[in-house]
Structure 1
Amino acid sequence: MSMDRAITLHQPARLEIGAGSAATVGQWAIGAERTLVLTSGSVAGHVDRLGLPGQVRVFDTVPPEPDDKALATALTAAAEFKPDTIIGLGGGSVMDIAKLVACLWDGAQALIDVVGPDKIMRRLSRLAQVPTTAGTGSEAGIRALVTNSATSAKMAIESPHMRADLAVLDPELTYSVPPAVTAATGVDAMAHCVEAFTSLRAHDMIDGYARMGIGLVGRYLRRAVENGRDTEARNGMMLASYYGGICLGPVNTAAGHALAYPLGTRLHLPHGLANAIIFPHVLAFNAPARPEKTAEVMSALGLEVTPDSDQVAKRTYDFCASLGIEMQLSRHGATHDSLAGWAKEAHAIRRLMDNNPRDMSVDDVRNIFAAAF
């Protein structure tokens, strides 16, 4: 029984979910004097929906896959403004930066001081997280990822001080997300659930969240892709993403995300797309080690269950491709010459690779990249 392993589960102090729930941020923020909204240009227009009181400053230049330089720019803006309240409004990158800024803007600790678990001393500002995509589930957890600009490696920071005081899942904020992005981020949400579900560190309690998340993706992702204003489908996908975020805390992801990271840092692929491309191949690789759970995943997605790993790869690949995701690395600028280097880089991410249910060599990683090429 995986319940024999003790775990700690952190979730936001308050969760609001439903169409129009973005307006609750302003109610929650009553009394705030200086609110800093961290966002990106594409969704900055949603700030007015929050109904924020007091003095509000918007920092709208958080990039996808932010690095330490992007974080430093945001920290400088926050140090100048001295916010008592911080809002992360956007995708996972924005929410990760919001977590770090809420804890580090006074300069008492630098990023290099807090990489790893439980090194952040305190939080400086109240924190609300308002996702505008259904993928990362960053609003649910206490981790943040930042790219090292010198090495292109992902730096992971984890602290209960980064737990949100408020998380708001408003499906209306995702209406304008394009179909291809909806599809890729939705598969990323599913990958969080699947990798935790099949992990060596899987836990019975987290398996429950993973099953619910995978089931919601199977039920609602295609509908959300086909009709971006399908409120029920968008709501379902936001909840699937949130469940995936819960899975990340006490269990975390495994080889799938390790392989996706070089695609983000080297090819500059969006995080969701990188994970979607890798997902079928890692699921198939791990199938012999987790046959029953692989069958559950296939069934939840409406796919014919098979014990054949090649067929697992084909059927899940076809599922992703049918959503409009371009699944070939070669179409995204990858070259054969790059695969060996990416394989070594991914294999070295032991904090994730060591969670994988089946040992994966550098050659195995390169073969997966080749299969995805």
Structure 2
Amino acid sequence: MTNLSATIEIIRPEAIEFGSGAINAVARFARAKDIRRPLVIADAFNAARVDLLGLPREVTVFGEVKPEPDVPNLEKALAVAHAAQPDLVLGFGGGSAMDLAKLVAVLCTGDQTLADVVGPDKVAGRSVALVQVPTTSGTGSEGGIRALVTDPVTRSKLAVQSRFMLADLAVVDPDLTMSVPPQVTAATGVDALAHCVEAFTSRKAHPAIDLYAIEGIRLVGRHLARAVKDGSDREARAGLALASLYGGFCLGPVNTTAGHAVAYPLGTRHNIPHGLACAVIFPHTLAFNMPAVQDKTGAVLQALGASAMTDPAAAFEIAYRFCTDLGIEMRLSALGVAADDLGIMAAEAHAIRRLLDNNPRDLSAEAILKMYRAAF
């Protein structure tokens, strides 16, 4: 499944500060760039602790990022940006805040609209600085070039991909994640795991990216349960932060596959948080794909602490138990999904060709519906 002769570009932010206390890099960057009008894009919780960023001048804060941001949420953030005329946009929070920050940074100047940039490589440029500061360990958005928002009319994810959305500085300070509750830690951790696993087993998989992917999987296997049990475990928090960053590196050149495609309708139709949706689907797509990527799936299971095997049913049980042992609710019925909605979701997921075409095994709408029913 890997192609040594394929050409691939490893995409990373211009600068990365990682580790306890790395948050201080934000103030250094702002002083070095003589930032005068910073705009922070955050959720309500992080908007209340903007002082941690140490920005040297008066800050404009958009603190209304939704858990699953949609087009109206982006438009509201852009209205604040147009009024503030920032010279720095800073994403402060989880993947939702960082994705909106990317889009605000490239759309707050110039004439392009969201409709103009949906898809790959349509952004004309960026004239403001962009800094990303994650406060969860899951999306790896601080290290990537993609941003997604939901279209409330079609209930589909609109994906924008551009090198202009790559951060000038990514500040990954694991100490910022220590307040994340156990359930969110678990779900976002499995999202990071899914990024790495899907990139590792993708049709586009490449050895240069496999290195990040398999190490990210090992880091999640080693540290996620510890962080869920004890949120103040600094070593575990750092391990997850690094796994999330590595997952972000995987998304640029390789991207995700069926796991994310099948998970997306859970968020767009039922407002299930993205990490939780990925966790519910993870065992199902891992087992489904195993016949096409047997050796790599065995390596994934070993990285999670299990024995290598060739049996998809056993692989499913190991992955399912990994999630349930973290306290994750794995039943769609318990998450508010109605049985009569499964067919619609299967059709929507099957239409996400930008991800399903990367999957190592062809996945029909009927097979997706079977997964939903098994997860119900």
Corresponding residue for 1:46?
Answer: 49
Could you tell me which residue of structure 1 aligns to residue 7 of structure 2?
Answer: 6
Match of 1:302 among 288, 301, 305: 305
SS of the counterpart of 1:313? helix
- Residue 205 (structure 1) aligns with: 208
Q: 2-side partners of 1:306 and 1:161: how far apart? A: 42
Matched with 1:16 is 17
Q: 1:277 touches 1:328 (CA, 8 Å); kept in 2?
A: yes
Instruction: State the alpha-carbon separation in 2 of the partners of residues 215 and 318 from structure 1.
Output: 17
Deviations 1:140-190 (A, max 9, x none): 011100111210111110111111000011111101100011001000001
| C-alpha distance in 1 between matches for 2:197 and 2:163 | 24
SS at match of 1:36: strand
* Equivalent AA in structure 2 for residue 140 of structure 1: G
Question: Could you tell me how far apart the structure 1 residues matched to 2:230 and 2:198 are?
Answer: 28
1:186-335 equivalent positions in 2, closer than 5 A: 186-335=189-338
Percent of pairs with identical residues: 56
1:89 to 92, 103, 115: 92
Whether the 8 Å contact between 1:134 and 1:182 is mirrored in structure 2 is yes
* Cα gap change, 1:107 to 1:66, in 2 (>3 Å): farther
Shift of 1:58: 1.1
The letter of the residue matching 1:11 is R
Measured in 1, the distance between the counterparts of 2:282 and 2:297 equals 12
Partner Cα distance (2:260, 2:90) in 1: 27
Alignment-mate amino acid for residue 264 of structure 2: Y
- Superposed displacement of residue 107, structure 1: 5.2
Distance in 2, Cα, partners of 1:24 & 1:113: 34
Correspondence for 2:343: 340
Name structure 1 gaps, 5 residues minimum: none
Distance in 2 (alpha carbons) for counterparts of 1:208 and 1:17: 19
Quote the residue 1:62 is aligned against: 65
Distance 1:269 1:127 in 2: 29
1:87 positional shift = 0.7
Q: Is the contact made by 1:184 and 1:325 (CA closer than 8 Å) also made in structure 2? A: yes
Distance in 2 separating the partners of 1:46 and 1:182: 19
Aligned residue in 1 for 2:362: 359
CA distance in 1, matches of 2:194, 2:204: 15
- Aligned length, in residue pairs: 373
Deviation of the 1:22 alpha carbon: 0.8
Picking from 34, 38, 54, the partner of 1:35 is 38
- 1:25-55 CA-to-partner distances (Å, cap 9, x unmatched) read 0111111110001100122233111110122
Cα distance in structure 2, aligned partners of 1:172 and 1:128: 18
Tell me if structure 1 keeps the 8 A contact 2:10–2:209.
Answer: no
Instruction: State the distance in 1 between where 2:368 and 2:306 align.
Output: 25
Any conservation in 1 of the 2:182–2:229 contact (CA below 8 Å)? Answer: yes
Q: How far is 1:306 from its partner?
A: 2.5
Of 154, 167, 174, 1:164 maps to 167
Cα distance, 1:290 vs. partner?
A: 0.7
1:92-130 deviation per Cα after TM superposition (whole angstroms, max 9, x unaligned): 010000001011113510000000111111112101000
1:129 to 114, 121, 132: 132
CA contact (8 A) 1:148 1:154 kept: yes
CA–CA distance in structure 1, aligned partners of residues 281 and 110 of structure 2: 38
Aligned-residue CA RMSD (Å): 0.9
CA distance in structure 1 between the partners assigned to 2:120 and 2:308 by the alignment: 39
1:147 partnered with 2:150: yes
Query: For 2:253 and 2:332, how far apart are their aligned partners in 1?
Result: 31
1:46–1:173 CA contact under 8 A, matched in 2: no
Partners of 1:3 and 1:315 lie apart in 2 by 30
Where structure 2 has 5 or more consecutive residues not aligned to the other structure, the ranges are none
Distance 2:181 2:356 in 1: 32
Q: Partner of 1:37: helix, strand, or coil?
A: strand
- Tell me, in whole angstroms, the C-alpha distance in 2 between the residues paired with 1:128 and 1:231: 24
Partner of 2:116: 113
CA deviations on 1:205-229 (whole Å, 9 max, x unpaired) are 0111101100100111111111101
State TM-score, norm by structure 2: 0.98
Distance in structure 2 (CA, Å) of the matches to 1:290 and 1:329: 27
Shift of 1:341: 0.8
Name the CA distance, whole Å, in 1 between partners of 2:212 and 2:183.
Answer: 25
Give the TM-score, by structure 1 length: 0.98
